[in-house]
Amino acid sequence: MSYIKAVVPMKNHRLFMEMESGSTVTVDLSVKLNTIKYADLKDDGVFMTAVTDGNHVIWGGGQVKLSVNELMDAALLG
């Protein structure tokens, strides 16, 4: 089952996600950029390549891949 319907990378390292349920969420990833896992997303060229396979958001053709659970944690916990 897929959870993410669409993603739109936005300015200032924010990611808009439309969920299959119809709800939307904007995740501010700027606070995570100084961690090893998220460091490659500092590059705007990489960040703007965000796509989804329904369960993950993928940047840079697989350079960074985050699950819907990781992204919801980032949205809720910062």
> For the domain that residue 22 is a member of, what is the CATH number?
3.30.2020.10
- Kindly state the average pLDDT of the residues 12-32: 96
Ramachandran quadrant class, 22 (left: phi over 0; alpha: psi -120 to 50; beta: rest): left
| Domain residue limits at 45 | 4-77
- Our count of domains for the chain comes to 1
- Name the H helices within the chain: 44-47, 68-77
pTM for the whole thing?
Answer: 0.93
- The pLDDT value recorded for residue 54 is 97
